[in-house]
Amino acid sequence: MTVFATAPGVGRFAGKTVVVLGGNSGIGLAAAKAFREEGARVAITGRNAETLSTVAAATGILAVRADMGSVQAHREALDSLAKELRGIDVLFVNAGVGGFAPIPDVTQDFWDSVHSVNLRGAFFAIQAALPHLHDGGSIVITGSIGAVLAVPGNVVYASAKAGLRAVARILATELLPRRIRVNMVSPGPTDTEIFKRGAAVEEIEQMRTLLSGVVPMKRMGTPDEIARAVLFLASSEASFINGVDLCVDGGCVEL
């Protein structure tokens, strides 16, 4: 753990506590920083110890290493973070893994590696957080437009995110008595590190061009653009919004 720094008490989340699961890079990190800038006390989890340490040193955000694929690790992390924060007002479930394979090439190991994080891990992390969530709080989950688009090669990732969409809707219903809203943000092609890992500069540029070409707005989104949608759904501005799947995708699904 790192020394916990408290942000100034201003903004939409002044006095609130926020936990971001998968907050050490990309959309999760952008959201964690934005929550802190708006007054929240923020903690993050992630599985990369080096990036967690870097984020903690640069921002003062509380950072705990926990792999979403390990139910026990996230249960322990959430218990620890909730104790440190004295409960949780906002839970942002962002951790996930990807990968493409046509149906004939999908192996059991590949299926399990994606679903153990994106669906099983996310569900049990939320379950572990529920006793620590304050009534009237908010859960936001990162989905994917892939859950509703029939993209060849995306069957494993898409099915996990589609399952997570069902989880979000049922959670939103079951948590009504506690006034905890549950919503999902589904990004379109977004310029994060996930599509750059292990790729050469030329390959990254080719992929960026390819992905930009499928977006009606002819560009990829940024982590900050997705984070703004996350903060909106988590805030009191969205007090009458519950159970939605908000596509932040430059028009990919609707246009």
Q: Which residues are catalytic?
A: 157
Quote the CA–CA distance of 11 and 1 in Å, as a whole number. 26
In whole angstroms, what is the distance from residue 156 CA to residue 151 CA?
Answer: 11
Name the burial class of residue 94, with classes exposed (0-12), middle (13-18) and buried (19+) by CB atoms within 10 angstroms of its CB.
buried
> Minimal CA–CA distance to 146: which of 227, 214, 234, 207?
214
The residues with which 62 forms a beta bridge, in sequence order, are 43
From 171, 253, 251, 247, select the one nearest 218 (Cα to Cα). 251
Q: What six digits make up the tokens of 198?
A: 């292990």
Which tokens is 86 given?
């004295």
H or E segment and range at residue 246: strand 245-248
Q: Phi and psi at residue 217, in whole multiples of 5°? A: -80, -5
